[in-house]
Amino acid sequence: MKRVKTAVFISGRGSNMEALIAAAKDPAYPAEIALVFSNDPQAVGLKTAVAAGIETLAIDHRPFGKDRAAHEALIDAALRERGIELVALAGYMRILTPFLTGAWAGKMLNIHPSLLPKYPGLHTHARALAAGDLEAGCTVHWVTEGVDEGPVLGQARVPILSGDDEDALSARVLAQEHKLYPASLAKAAAEMVEG
């Protein structure tokens, strides 16, 4: 069975990456996690990926200063060298320029911890709590030029309970992220395989 060669991008702990790696252990899963990339050589998730036997690559963004395009050109070349077909952003904390989003249009997913289009950007759980919302959730979407704006591939909802603080809510949403992302990546990859 053809599996779609996928790179996962992380900047930190990589718990969503771990969920994707676990799902892709099943030979029937339509995506293969071929690379874990980080902009931070110290990202904890890189160690997890190494332990899982997956190739890792870190290209520190800091030496590039404001030249995001130069950083992205190296990333793009690294993906192409490895024959990567699909990219899953999973807690990747860099804003992408139109160069990378354009080069990977229709081939790059992101997970965001809110029910988009509500609360793009940061501090989603604090904002949902401050607004008195009754539900929160997470979204997997295609990446386009606008941050957290692309077409939605999947969403999961959770209730907001009285007494919830940011930590409690984020833990409840994260548990759903770990189910939603593997399911959404499978859907995207299966569609690519079927053409």
Q: Give the residue numbers marked as catalytic.
A: 112
Residue 170: name the closest of 121, 131, 114 by CA.
114
- Should residue 71 be labelled a site residue for ligand GRF when binding is judged by CB under 6 A? no
Binding status of residue 39 toward ligand GRF by CB under 6 A: no
Closest separation in Å from C-beta 139 to ligand GRF: 9
CA dihedral 109, 115, 120, 126 (to 10 degrees): -130
Q: Does 182 bind ligand GRF (CB under 6 A)?
A: no
Binding of ligand GRF by 158 (CB under 6 A): no
| 111 in contact with ligand GRF (CB under 6 A) | yes
**What type of residue is 134?**
L
Binding residue for ligand GRF (CB under 6 A) from 61, 84, 96, 113?
Answer: 113
- The answer to whether 52 touches 34, Cβ cutoff 8 Å, is no
Strands 108-112 and 86-89: parallel
How near is the Cβ of 138 to ligand GRF at its closest, in Å? 6
Give min distance, CB of 1 to ligand GRF, in A.
Answer: 27
- Number of helices (H), then strands (E), in the chain: 6, 7
- Between 83 and 111, name the residue whose CB sits nearer to ligand GRF: 111
Whole-number Å distance between alpha carbons of 12 and 103: 24
Q: List residues near ligand GRF by CB under 6 A.
A: 10, 12-16, 90-91, 111-113, 138, 174, 177
